[in-house]
Amino acid sequence: MQKIRNKIRIDKSSIVKLAKNIKLVGCSIIIKGKNNQLEIEDGVRVHRSMIEIIGDNCLIKIGKDSMIGDNCYLVVKEENIHLTIGKSCGLSRNVKVMTSDGHPIFQNNIRINSAQNIVIGNNIWIGDNVTILKGVEVANESVIGINSVVTKSVPPNTVVAGNPAKVIKENITWKP
């Protein structure tokens, strides 16, 4: 594992599983709460990005041979929430993946914006400045265009783009 100038703060009850052949460069990793888990599989590269878990019983997992580009922000908040990135995924620069809105919103004393899991499948390409919001599942072999805001799940083998992101191409394949 190659670790260069990273800032890492992890609470004692959390588990961090890092494969041997990974590269973390200039990253900030913050894990606060109880029983949280960060898993980074073999061949993963993360450059100058922030990974944050704030809550209890939460998970961020980054699959084998994935690449997280500069200034990405992966955040899981609240309780029992997961963010999973599959194998062979590419997140370009400035990608934000957020399982929570950041602050609770109430209507008639009932919370209306609870955190939700995010699942990013295998062999996904995510362009610059994309934001993926809570509850989204990005199915295998898909591409998300530059500057998109993904608010709904993405079918397999599609290209989505826009704000909010919509399907613009179907039945696609792509090669990293």
Over residues 121-138, the mean pLDDT reads: 98
pLDDT above 90 for 137: yes
pLDDT of res. 2: 57
Domain boundary assignment for the chain: 2-169
What would be the CATH architecture of the domain defined by 2-169? 3 Solenoid (2.160)
Least confident among 4-18, 53-67, 106-120: 4-18
Q: Which DSSP string corresponds to the chain?
A: -EEES-EEEE-TT-EEEE-SS-EEES-EEEEESSS-EEEE-TT-EEES-EEEEEEES-EEEE-TT-EE-TT-EEEEEEES-EEEE-TT-EE-TT-EEESS-SS--EETTEE------EEE-SS-EE-TT-EE-TT-EE-TT-EE-TT-EE-S-B-TT-EEEETTEEEEE-S-----
pLDDT above 70 for 3: no
